[in-house]
């Protein structure tokens, strides 16, 4: 190839040609996963280096865009950048113009841990601070995105469970730089809880990624929630998502719907309670009448027992019982069975041969009369003879 | 007092209880019912008043049931910047 055939450029022409090539041959928008290095604010614009350790490229967030970002990257943060290539033809320098920057999951979790640690050390996160939720709140505030499927689910659940509670819905933004707005809303509402008759607050946000919930790890927001004048219930994201707001809340529900379930009673269960009370009312009436009737019977009996005739009858009965006892203990029972009672002339009972001698007169009493006898002979039994 | 007069008084009394109960919230009616049940169950109510108290309890019970069955949820949306109502659904 001869030198004459090579394209010839001025520097400006070359740079313009490179810029044109990049413009035509590269995606107008792309996502870049990177770590932020040396972020610096200059004249309101944020300049930073985006690196993955092996390679790096400079980036910029123009001031107008920077104001809209919900998250300001710090040195070392993992981020996902929505960007486009920016080529300056004058110096042939290339950089990424960031249209949006979101923290990566690792950055979100690192912030979560940092805020959690700070608030735990200060005692702001402390299970002993948790307040009991009202049993049947008359009015509750629901802070969530409007309209949203989370709100629709919560309204449906509330209507099914406990329509007696008034719901005061306060819309909050959930995308972008929303922490200051939510904080302002929370502070204004806190001043009016008594006026509005609020008994609890639900802070809810439906699904999305954990990164989308990063605003609920905001330290200032969580401090307000921890000291809120009424009990706070959170229902943020999915069941597995845990934010610092969940840790400072009085009750953490897994989802927005679960937050309503936790706060509002079940009217079907309440109906059961009403039926039980209805039974108790009826039982109270019937039971009381039965008890009073029994008391009346007891009194009638007591009165009857105090009458003179009854007393005489009772004493007769007692006498008859004693008579029976006397008869049972009398020796006549033994005489009836064929045994006899022997006594000497003096009337002393004879129970052995020692008190008897030949010629003594004895009286032998039997069941139907008495024999008089004289002792002719004494024969000891063999056992007594030997002794 | 004639039987007719007595029946009218009875009906008037129940009507007055109903009017009073209509101004009670669910929690208030339930509390009134529970207090009455406690009195009934510890035998502190004179026998002559027993039937009346039970009827009074049934008025509270009926108020609770009505509230549970017929209330439509009140939903108010507030403007987040002014906290004034934007609608009343």
Tokens of A18: 């490179």
Tokens of A189: 């509402």
To 10 degrees, what angle do helices B26-41 and B47-70 make?
150
Same domain flag for A114 and A251? yes
pLDDT, position A3: 60
pLDDT, position A291: 87
Other beta carbons less than 10 A from residue B6's beta carbon = 10
ipTM tops 0.85: no
Distance from CA of B46 to the nearest CA of A (A): 10
pLDDT, position A195: 94
Cα distance between residue A278 and residue A284, in whole Å: 10
Buried-exposed string A230-269: b where 16+ CB fall within 10 A, e elsewhere: bbbbbbbbeeebbbbbbbbbbbbbbbbbbbbbbbbbebee
Domain boundary pick from A292, A311, A329: A329
pLDDT tens digits, B53-82 = 889 999 999 999 888 887 787 889 998 888
Per-residue pLDDT tens digits of chain A, which is 387 residues long: 556 688 899 999 999 999 999 888 888 899 999 999 999 999 999 999 999 888 999 999 999 988 888 788 988 889 999 999 999 989 999 999 999 998 888 889 999 999 999 999 999 999 999 999 999 999 999 999 999 999 999 999 999 999 999 999 999 998 767 899 999 999 999 999 999 999 999 999 987 888 889 899 999 999 999 999 999 999 999 888 999 999 999 999 999 999 999 999 998 899 999 999 999 998 888 888 888 889 889 988 887 877 778 888 888 899 999 988 888 888 788 888 888 889 988 888 888 888 888 999 999 988 899 999 999 998 888 765 544
Same domain flag for A254 and A275? no
* Helix, strand or coil, per DSSP, at residue A219: helix
Tokens of B1: 């007092």
Same domain flag for A186 and A288? no
pLDDT, position A272: 92
Q: With CB atoms and an 8 Å threshold, state whether B61 touches A138.
A: no
Distance between the two ends of chain A, CA-based, in angstroms?
Answer: 162
B78 contacts in A (CB within 8 Å)?
168-170
A183 contacts in B (CB within 8 Å)?
none
Contact present, A101 and A66 (Cβ < 8 Å): no
Other beta carbons less than 10 A from residue A120's beta carbon = 13
Q: Tally the C-alpha atoms within 13 A of residue B76's C-alpha that lie toward its C-beta.
A: 15
Determine the length of chain B.
89
More confident residue, A346 or B2: A346
Same domain flag for A293 and A345? no
Same domain flag for A242 and A294? no
Threshold 0.80, pTM exceeds: no
Longest dimension (CA), chain B: 67
Cα distance between residue A375 and residue B11, in whole Å: 104
Q: Given A167, A285, A289, which is nearest B73 (Cβ)?
A: A167
pLDDT, position A387: 41
Same domain flag for A276 and A349? no
pLDDT, position B87: 59
pLDDT, position A383: 66
Same domain flag for A121 and A241? yes
Nearest to A78 by CA among A115, A113, A110, A46: A110
Residues 6+ apart with CB under 8 A from A178: A70, A172, A215
**Count of A–B CB contacts within 8 Å?**
85
Domain boundary pick from A52, A73, A103: A103
Burial class of residue A14 (count of CB atoms within 10 Å of its CB; 0-12, 13-18, 19+): middle
Domain boundary pick from A246, A265, A284: A265
Same domain flag for A203 and A255? yes
A284 contacts in B (CB within 8 Å)?
37, 40-41, 54
Q: Which range marks the domain in which residue A41 is found?
A: 3-103
Q: Tally the C-alpha atoms within 13 A of residue A320's C-alpha that lie toward its C-beta.
A: 6
Phi (first) and psi of residue A151, to 5 degrees: -65, -45
Buried-exposed string A59-75: b where 16+ CB fall within 10 A, e elsewhere: bbbeeebbeebbbebee
Say how many domains are in chain A: 4
Domain at A216, CATH number: 3.40.50.261
DSSP state of A190: H
Contact present, A138 and B25 (Cβ < 8 Å): yes
pLDDT tens digits, B7-44 = 888 889 999 999 999 999 888 999 999 999 998 888 78
* Helix, strand or coil, per DSSP, at residue A24: helix
Q: With CB atoms and an 8 Å threshold, state whether A159 touches B80.
A: no
Same domain flag for A164 and A225? yes
Tokens of A211: 């990164």
Cα distance between residue B22 and residue B59, in whole Å: 10
Same domain flag for A181 and A220? yes
Residues 6+ apart with CB under 8 A from A228: A186, A190, A201
Mutate to test the interface with A, among B21, B25, B28, B75 (most CBs of A within 10 A): B75
Contact present, B59 and B14 (Cβ < 8 Å): yes
Same domain flag for A317 and A287? yes
Same domain flag for A48 and A145? no
């Amino acid at each position: 190839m001869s030198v004459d055939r090579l394209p010839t450029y001025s520097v400006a022409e070359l740079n313009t040609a490179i810029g044109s090539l990049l413009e035509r041959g590269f995606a107008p928008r792309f996502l870049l996963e990177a770590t932020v290095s040396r972020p610096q604010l200059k004249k309101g614009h944020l300049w930073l280096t985006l690196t993955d350790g092996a390679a790096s490229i400079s980036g910029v967030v123009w001031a107008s865009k920077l104001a809209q970002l919900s998250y300001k990257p710090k040195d070392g943060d993992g981020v996902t950048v929505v960007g486009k290539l920016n080529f300056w033809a004058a110096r042939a320098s290339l950089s990424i113009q960031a249209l949006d920057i979101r923290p990566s999951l690792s950055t979100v979790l690192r912030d979560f841990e940092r805020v959690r640690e700070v608030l735990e050390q200060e005692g702001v996160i402390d299970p002993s601070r948790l307040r009991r939720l009202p049993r049947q709140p008359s009015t509750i505030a629901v802070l969530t995105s409007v309209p949203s499927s989370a709100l629709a689910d919560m309204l449906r659940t509330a209507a099914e469970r406990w329509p007696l509670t008034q719901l005061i819905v306060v819309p909050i933004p959930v995308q972008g730089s929303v922490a200051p707005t939510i904080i302002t809303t929370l502070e204004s509402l806190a001043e009016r809880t008594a006026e509005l008759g609020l008994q609890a607050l639900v802070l809810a946000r439906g699904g999305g990624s954990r990164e989308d919930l990063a605003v609920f790890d905001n330290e200032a927001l969580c401090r307000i929630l921890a000291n809120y004048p009424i009990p706070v219930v959170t229902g943020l994201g999915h069941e597995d998502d845990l934010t610092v707001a969940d840790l400072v809340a009085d009750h953490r529900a897994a989802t927005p719907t679960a937050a309503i379930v936790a706060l509002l009673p079940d009217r079907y269960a309440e109906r059961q309670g009403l039926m039980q009370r209805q039974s108790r009312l009826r039982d109270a009436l019937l039971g009381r009448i039965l008890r009073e009737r029994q008391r009346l019977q007891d009194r009638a009996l007591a009165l009857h027992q105090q009458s003179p005739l009854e007393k005489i009858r009772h004493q007769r009965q007692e006498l008859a019982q004693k008579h029976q006892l006397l008869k049972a203990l009398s020796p006549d029972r033994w005489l009836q069975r064929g045994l006899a009672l022997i006594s000497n002339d003096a009337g002393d009972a004879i129970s052995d041969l020692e008190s008897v001698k030949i010629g003594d007169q004895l009286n032998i009493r039997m069941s139907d009369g008495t024999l008089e006898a004289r002792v002719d002979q004494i024969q000891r039994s063999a056992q007594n003879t030997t002794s | 007092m004639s039987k007719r007069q007595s029946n009218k008084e009875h009906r008037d009394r129940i009507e007055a209880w109903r009017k009073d109960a209509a101004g009670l919230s669910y929690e208030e009616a339930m509390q009134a019912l529970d207090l009455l049940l406690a009195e009934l169950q510890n035998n502190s109510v004179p026998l002559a008043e027993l039937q009346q108290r039970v009827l009074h309890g049934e008025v509270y019970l009926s108020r609770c049931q009505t509230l549970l069955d017929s209330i439509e949820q009140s939903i108010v949306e507030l403007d987040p910047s002014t906290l004034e109502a934007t609608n009343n659904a």
